[in-house]
């Protein structure tokens, strides 16, 4: 099913891959509603290959009324268009793409990958043919270069032999550029492949004409070398983007491709995962992956979620528990009910996060896009002026009495072609995307998903970090910190094993394996009651298990355990910090960043967590509105805060911050508002992300500067006739290789990993404070360091 560029009158704008009007499809069937309530459509685009294609497609779609977002990912060829409900007919999207000259079909990951693999193989074949032609032409051109005594007839014969190799090899190898240019011209537009194709055609034509006239100079070797180097750059770009595609595929590989559906009569049938409908009952055998997100309805087992959450131990799963796509059933067969389609699962969403991170473009990329958009008119004008100058210049000099040779159309054309070749903006087009793709892939390996390209730029600009406590600095899971002897702990745990309360789970975790007490009864909201060794026992709230005891002064989360006539005992819990929370905070301070913590929790809990993490500035009892107001106040003071939070109450603050991050377990609303998503329980990935963002900014600046200097210096040399088309091809391709190599330098050893430890003495940690805050943003339970800020 494809948009038919040959038959734009197709009613729906969509048809079969061959453009068959007799097989149109209903494009409205592929429209979905996203979390913001906008209508979205995802298509796979064919023929897009450069920054100008992105600008053309996105610009054309954003011009449609009601369209709020249009993003094309060159790596996966996925186009996502979003518009306000009812503001746009989906057929208008199809018609616009047809008008712009691009083919498309509803996005299917399997088909997309097949097309991408096919494109890579095709580029490799073209590269091999160009290399074969370039090497074999050397057999005929080398004698011409060094054969001073070669006669004119022999030289012409060598030129014809060169043509016999160069023409078929060159025309085959030039297909990626010729096809792209032809599609653009048919749509009434020009892309960066148009001048490249023009240079190829003119050089071939000029060389054949020169050979037919018995001329001394041809450029069969130069044009095949040009195509060889151009294809090296394009294939490297393809492979570079393959890194991000591989990351997305690795995530999607966590999702099963088949499932076993349980029918109404209990019969089991095997189906493809894409056929799963919401509400289907699915049987999951031991060792199988969950094909979609759902809820367990029958059976108990353990789930291995290591690839999703980083948790090394299998998690218990019972009826009513949620199960995510990609989780492996470890212990016993279970039955689950699908609550999302396979393409809408948590695994698919992670893959989309990677793609969004790769395709997002910030200030540097927008700058490169604008420069690339100016390329076609500027380079055509420069080539035309070069030709005119070499044709008219000698006449002017002769009129002035200067003794110079007359105009030579062949020399003028050769110099104009050299300008077309050497000014090809391949290096400029790769300057920022190459850095962005490498940085995104590196952070993915470090457990950080990047949601947008400009997020890397904004992260490099931050000057302070603000943390939420529960679920961000802490694990969001209570941990036993004090209690009586081991025997009492085991006894209390036997009652706790029948409860799913978080404190009961923490008590059981501290006690270790054991048997649950038989005959235990749970009183919702109160506790558990049972007979232990023939004597009554209770575990739960103070008023339930120990009503005669006084309230504890520390206000810590607690469970009381009492049995028979023995004195009740108290278990206290705390929300444990992430293992590397203190190291991450120290690393941020060592880099000169101010660190603050905002939490809606109790003052005692927040103070304890802040002290353990090494944070001097903290606020307790903060409401969601106050968190957002704090971000706005900081930005009003000229600060650029990074907000790190996980809860629904953090979503507004995340959106209001200069940059934002959320842990991988955060609620969907927080992840949607965040620029970065941290996988696993480690926070050091945040430090790695900041370091990578700063290096990415430097690499992008270096690439843009080099690309600009290269074009400024190379174009006048070509126009002056100092560079032949062969040398121009080598220089242009060398610039692309340098830009790519500079981006790949970011793949060096990571300074910080999720398993690293901070090896800095406390004396080297920077003690920093915060700018003054307004009364709206600073609740009563506030401690702010007054130490002077050291900068970032």
- Chain mean position to CA 263: 39
For residue range 300-315, what is the model confidence (pLDDT) as tens digits? 887 877 555 544 446 7
Does residue 355 surpass a pLDDT of 80? no
The beta-strand segments (E) located in 220-366 are 258-262, 268-272, 281-284, 294-298, 301-304, 315-317, 322-323, 328-329, 334-338
CA distance 433 to 629: 35
- The backbone torsions φ and ψ at residue 250, rounded to the nearest 5 degrees and listed phi first, read -60, -35
State phi, psi for 87 to the nearest 5 degrees: -80, -15
The whole model's pTM is what?
Answer: 0.52
Q: Where are the beta strands (DSSP E) in 299-447?
A: 301-304, 315-317, 322-323, 328-329, 334-338
Question: Catalytic site residue 468?
Answer: yes
Q: What is the pLDDT of residue 725?
A: 66
Higher pLDDT, 128 or 310: 128
CA dihedral sign of residues 478, 482, 485, 486: positive
345: closest CA among 404, 401, 292? 292
Closest Cα partner for 225 from 135, 308, 297, 148? 135
pLDDT digits 0-9 by tens, 270-327: 888 878 888 999 999 888 889 889 999 998 887 877 555 544 446 778 899 999 888 8
Tokens of 519: 């005959």
Spatial strand order in the sheet of 294-298 = 268-272, 258-262, 281-284, 334-338, 294-298, 322-323
Residue 302, CA distances (Å) to 251, 284, 299, 575, 735 in order: 21, 12, 10, 24, 54
Closest CA to 223 of 732, 758, 746, 608: 732
Separate counts of helices (H) and strands (E) for the chain: 23, 28
**Residue 565 to residue 747: CA distance in whole angstroms:** 66
Rounded mean pLDDT of 596-619?
Answer: 87
pLDDT-derived band at 253 (thresholds 50, 70, 90) equals low
Question: What does the alpha-carbon distance between residue 147 and residue 142 come to, in Å, rounded to a whole number?
Answer: 8
Indicate if the alpha-carbon torsion angle 80, 81, 86, 88 is positive or negative.
negative
Q: Which range is least confidently modeled, 38-42, 155-159, 669-673?
A: 669-673
Higher pLDDT, 51 or 463: 463
- pLDDT recorded at residue 696: 86
Q: Given this model, what pLDDT does residue 148 score?
A: 65
Q: Give me the DSSP letters along 678-737.
A: E-SS-SHHHHHHHHHHHHHHHHHHHHHHHHHHHHHHHHHHHHTT-S-HHHHHHHHHHHHH
677 token code pair = 């998503």
pLDDT tens-digit profile of 666-684? 545 445 557 888 877 778 8
Separation of first and last alpha carbons in the chain: 53
| pLDDT digits 0-9 by tens, 763-786 | 322 222 223 233 323 333 333 332
pLDDT at 126 over 90: yes
- The model's confidence at residue 403, banded by pLDDT at 50, 70 and 90, is confident
pLDDT at 671: 54
Has residue 518 got a pLDDT over 80? yes
pLDDT at 8 > cutoff 50: no
Q: Which of 160, 177, 182, 77 is nearest to 126 (CA)?
A: 177
| Beta sheet of 535-540, edge-to-edge order | 474-482, 569-577, 558-563, 535-540, 527-532, 521-523
Q: Name residues whose C-beta falls within 8 Å of residue 448's C-beta, 6 or more positions apart in sequence.
A: 676, 677, 678, 679, 685, 686, 688, 689
773 or 42, greater pLDDT: 42
Q: How confident is the model at residue 380 (pLDDT cuts 50, 70, 90)?
A: confident
Assess contact for 183 and 138: CB atoms under 8 A.
no
Residue 222 structure tokens: 């130069």
* Segment 141-157 mean pLDDT: 76
Closest CA to 4 of 101, 114, 115, 109: 101
Confidence of residue 578 (pLDDT cuts 50, 70, 90): confident
- What's the rounded Cα separation, in Å, for the pair 117 and 106? 18
- Name the pairing type of β-strands 268-272 and 281-284: unpaired
Quick one: pLDDT band at residue 260, thresholds 50, 70, 90?
A: very high
Residue 537: what pLDDT? 92
Compute the Cα dihedral for 483, 484, 490, 491 and give only its sign.
negative
Q: Which residue in the list 38, 454, 468, 594 is annotated as catalytic?
A: 468
């Amino acid at each position: 099913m494809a948009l038919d560029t040959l038959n734009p009158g197709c009613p729906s704008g969509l048809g079969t891959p061959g453009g068959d009007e007799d097989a149109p499809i209903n494009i409205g069937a592929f429209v979905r509603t996203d979390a913001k309530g906008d209508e979205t459509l995802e298509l796979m685009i064919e023929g897009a290959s450069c920054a100008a294609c992105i600008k053309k497609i996105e610009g054309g779609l954003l011009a449609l009324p009601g369209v709020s977002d249009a993003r094309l990912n060159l790596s996966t060829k996925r186009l996502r268009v979003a518009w306000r409900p009812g503001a746009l007919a989906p057929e208008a999207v199809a018609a616009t793409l047809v008008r712009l000259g691009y083919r498309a079909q509803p996005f299917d990951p399997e088909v997309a990958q097949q097309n991408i693999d096919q494109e890579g193989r095709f580029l490799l074949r073209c590269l091999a043919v160009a290399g074969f032609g370039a090497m074999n032409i050397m057999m005929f051109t080398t004698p011409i270069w060094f054969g001073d005594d070669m006669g004119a007839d022999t030289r012409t014969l060598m030129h014809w032999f060169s043509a016999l190799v160069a023409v078929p090899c060159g025309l085959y190898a030039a297909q990626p550029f010729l096809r792209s240019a032809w599609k653009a011209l048919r749509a009434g537009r020009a892309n960066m492949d148009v001048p490249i194709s023009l240079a190829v055609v003119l050089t071939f034509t000029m060389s054949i004409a020169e050979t037919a006239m018995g001329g001394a100079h041809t450029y069969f070797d130069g044009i095949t070398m040009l195509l060889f180097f151009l294809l090296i750059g394009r294939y490297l770009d393809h492979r570079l983007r393959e890194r991000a595609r591989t990351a997305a595929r690795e995530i999607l590989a966590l999702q099963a491709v088949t499932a076993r559906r349980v029918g109404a009569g209990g019969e089991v049938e095997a189906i493809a995962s894409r056929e799963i409908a919401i509400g289907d009952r699915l049987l999951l055998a031991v060792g199988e992956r969950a094909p979609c997100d759902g809820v367990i309805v029958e059976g108990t087992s353990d789930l291995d979620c290591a690839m999703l959450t980083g948790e090394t131990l299998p998690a218990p799963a019972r009826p009513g528990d949620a199960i995510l796509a990609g989780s492996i059933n470890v212990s016993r067969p279970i039955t689950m009910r699908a609550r999302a389609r396979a393409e809408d699962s948590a695994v698919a969403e992670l893959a989309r996060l990677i793609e969004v991170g790769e395709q997002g473009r910030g200030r540097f990329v927008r700058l490169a896009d604008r420069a690339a958009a100016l390329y076609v008119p500027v380079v055509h004008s420069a080539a035309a002026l070069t030709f005119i100058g070499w044709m008219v210049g000698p006449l002017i000099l002769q009129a002035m009495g200067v003794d110079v040779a007359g105009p030579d159309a062949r020399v003028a054309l050769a110099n104009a072609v050299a300008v077309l070749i050497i000014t090809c903006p391949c290096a400029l087009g790769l300057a920022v995307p190459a850095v962005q793709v490498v940085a995104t892939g590196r952070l993915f390996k470090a457990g950080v998903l990047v949601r947008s390209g400009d997020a890397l730029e904004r992260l490099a600009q931050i000057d302070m970090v603000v943390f939420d406590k529960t679920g961000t600095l802490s694990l969001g899971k209570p941990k036993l910190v004090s209690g009586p002897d081991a025997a009492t702990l085991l006894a209390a745990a036997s009652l706790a094993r029948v409860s799913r309360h978080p404190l009961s789970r923490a008590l059981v975790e501290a006690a270790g394996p054991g048997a649950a007490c038989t005959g235990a009864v749970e009183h919702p909201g109160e506790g558990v009651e049972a007979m232990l060794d023939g004597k009554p026992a209770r575990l739960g709230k103070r008023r339930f298990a120990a009503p005669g005891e006084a309230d504890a002064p520390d206000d810590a989360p607690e469970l009381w355990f009492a049995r028979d006539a023995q004195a009740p005992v108290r278990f206290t819990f705390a929300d444990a910090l992430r293992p590397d929370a203190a190291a991450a905070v120290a690393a941020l301070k060592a880099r000169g960043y101010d660190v603050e913590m905002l939490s809606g929790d109790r003052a005692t809990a927040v103070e304890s967590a802040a002290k353990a993490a090494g944070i001097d500035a903290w606020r307790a009892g903060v409401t969601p509105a106050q968190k957002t107001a704090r971000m706005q106040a900081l930005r009003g003071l000229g600060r650029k805060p990074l907000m790190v939070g996980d809860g629904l109450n953090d979503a507004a603050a995340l959106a209001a911050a200069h940059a934002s991050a959320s842990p991988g377990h955060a609620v969907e609303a927080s992840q949607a508002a965040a620029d970065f998503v941290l996988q696993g329980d480690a926070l050091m990935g945040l430090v790695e992300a900041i370091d990578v963002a700063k290096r990415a900014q430097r690499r992008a600046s270096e690439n843009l500067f080099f690309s600009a200097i290269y074009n400024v210096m190379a174009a006048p040399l070509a126009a002056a006739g100092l560079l032949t088309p062969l040398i121009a091809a080598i220089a242009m391709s060398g610039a692309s290789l340098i830009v790519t190599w500079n981006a790949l330098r970011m793949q060096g050893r990571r300074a910080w990993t999720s398993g690293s430890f901070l090896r800095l003495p406390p004396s080297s940690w920077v003690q920093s404070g915060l700018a003054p805050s307004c009364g709206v943003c600073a609740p009563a339970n506030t401690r702010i360091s007054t130490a002077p800020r050291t900068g970032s």
